Chain A
Amino acid sequence: MKNAQGAWTRSGIDEGELHAFVDGRLTGERRAAVLAHLLLHSGDRERVEAYRRQLAGLARIRAGLDRYGEGFAPELQRALVERIAGARRHQRWLRLCSLGLAAGLLFGIGVWTVREWAIPSSRLVANVFEPDFPAPEFPFGDAFGREERRVDGDREHSLAWFASHLRDQTLEIPDLRELGLVPVGGQVLDRARTPAVRLAWSDGQGGIIDLYVGVVASDADQAFTMVGDSRVALHWRRGRLVFALVGPAGSPHLLQAVQSVLRGIDKPAGRAVPAGEAGRAAEEPRPIRAVVEPEAGANPPALERPAPSAPAVEPATVKGAVPAKTL
């Protein structure tokens, strides 16, 4: 330890610690060490006592001059008070502004979060209907985009042709009459990547609901897409069959049709219907089962007059439209 002349004492207490002890700034272990040191070193003890007397004297002076500034330079004191008070007001104002800004931000974030969770709005619908699902995986090409309006195609021939492309697959056409939907036509989708047909129902008020059915080999999953601004398409797949139901967004008929179609699809495969009876698909639900392999390179028949945007395939070129032997 250093003594007052700067030397270190043998007990490891330095001069700084002695003064820290005098000033009451030591606690615990170090304070105890200094106390022990002072018990053994009378010279340091006397110094410490003298330093404490100095402190006591200064404390008396301080206490006696506690309000020594009273009445001193009042103008200067007043000016200083104004400066400090002004600065603190400014700081308080800034703090309030910061708090207000933070509160506003929190409120905004809260409102935004609540809206995000609460609204069953078109935005959420859009999120659902414009998913990452790969709608292009479905084989219907740009049929939806072409806004097909022709619904007077030959439904029976469409189904017959489609059935010819099925292989050990049963398709049950739903009966939507109970929903007030009347079958109004069918169409072979000649631009589809795979065999696909479109079946149309009318709700009697100008609304058309289309069921697109195709055959795929991939494992495409269910998806929704928007068709234009007002129509929605529900795609789904069962086995090698792939479907798309398209209708006015928000239409109760469409939702009911979806349920009905899904019920029909999920039912166990029913009796095979002969191809010749395929035309009655509009009247009653019945399974279609393809038992004939399609001919290689067969072109789909155009069972209706093609829409302007969908060039027709000449009936004369239609081949392979072989009716199913048993349906």
Chain B
Amino acid sequence: MPWDPKSDEVTASSISEADRRCEPTSSRTVDEEVLEHVSALRRYALLLIGDPDEADDLVQETLVRVIAQTRSWKQVRDLRAYLFTTLHNVFVDGHRRRRVRPSEVPIETVIADLLAPPRQQDWMELRDLVAALRLLPKEQREVVLLVGLEGMSYLEAANVLQVPLGTVMSRLSRGREALRRLVSQGGAARLRVVK
């Protein structure tokens, strides 16, 4: 039977522990739930924009919009999807208004500083990955991050980005392939530099 991307429900065995933490459960307090969502928004925005200050501005504006403009919380079934959709809308609006200024500090350095000190090899791989992400078209970067970083299903990503499922699959495929080539080229470049 052919695979149907609409039925890409994550099976229990394939849900990572990080995914489970994102699911609203009765055992978590609302404070913990909000902290997890804000953490997700902030890291997603950081990798999406590549500039920590701009990313924080985006998340702040998102939170303000959610708090101020949400009239009926009864209709918010999936808080995570709601927050990410709002962030996407704020991002798209802001992107039209202004061009993101180039970060003074490279994002790969920022990420490396934020993370616990990894092994040298891991650090280089992460740096290459983050650097390559910045080179992806925005649309592909969004999908790669929502699915790969935040563990959303293809359908959830489609809902957040308000695009058809096929568009998500297409962007994911092209984004990952572009990322693979960029990372591969970055590694080759490093090797050339080392040599």
By a beta-carbon cutoff of 8 Å, the part of chain A in contact with chain B is 4, 14-17, 19-20, 22-27, 29-30, 47, 50-51, 53-55, 57-70, 72-73, 76-77, 79-81, 83-88, 90-91
Contact = CB atoms under 8 A, between A and B. Distances in A.
Given A50-B183, A54-B129, A80-B67, A69 B35 contact: yes
Interface string B1-36: 111010011110110101000000000001101111
A23 B59 CA distance: 27
B159 interface: no
Contact of B115 (A4, A64, A70, A84): A64
B56 interface: yes
A19 B169 contact: yes
A14 B34 CA distance: 38
17 contacts: A20-B3, A25-B10, A26-B3, A27-B11, A50-B183, A54-B176, A64-B114, A67-B39, A69-B35, A69-B37, A69-B39, A72-B38, A73-B60, A79-B63, A81-B31, A84-B30, A85-B30
Given A24-B13, A64-B115, A72-B56, 6 more contacts: A24-B10, A54-B179, A63-B18, A67-B35, A68-B43, A69-B41
A8 to B, nearest CB: 12
Q: Is chain A's binding surface mostly helix, strand, loop or mixed?
A: helix
Nearest to B39: A69
A72 B47 contact: no
Contacts of B14: 23-25
A16 B5 contact: yes
Interface in B45-81: 46-47, 56, 59-60, 63-64, 66-67, 70, 73-74, 76, 79
Contacts of A73: 38, 56, 59-60, 63
A57 B73 contact: no
A25 B11 contact: yes
B46 to A, nearest CB: 8
B42 A68 contact: yes
Give the residue among A22, A51, A90 with the most B Cβ atoms within 10 A: A51
Contact of B1 (A14, A24, A29, A55): A29
Contacts of A84: 30, 33-34, 73, 79
B3 A72 contact: no
Contacts of A63: 18
A22 B11 CA distance: 14
A160 to B, nearest CB: 87
B177 interface: yes
B73 A53 contact: no
Given A4-B173, A53-B125, A58-B148, A87 B73 contact: yes
A16 B153 CA distance: 13
B88 to A, nearest CB: 18
A20 B155 CA distance: 12
Contacts of B9: 25
B74 A19 contact: no
A220 to B, nearest CB: 64
Nearest to B148: A58
Contacts of A66: 18, 39
A69 B126 contact: no
Given A57-B125, A62-B43, A72-B38, A17 B3 contact: yes
Contact of B180 (A47, A61, A72, A81): A47
A321 to B, nearest CB: 88
Nearest to A12: B2
B173 A83 contact: no
Contacts of B147: 23
A72 B45 CA distance: 13
A243 to B, nearest CB: 69
Contact of B114 (A20, A58, A65, A91): A65
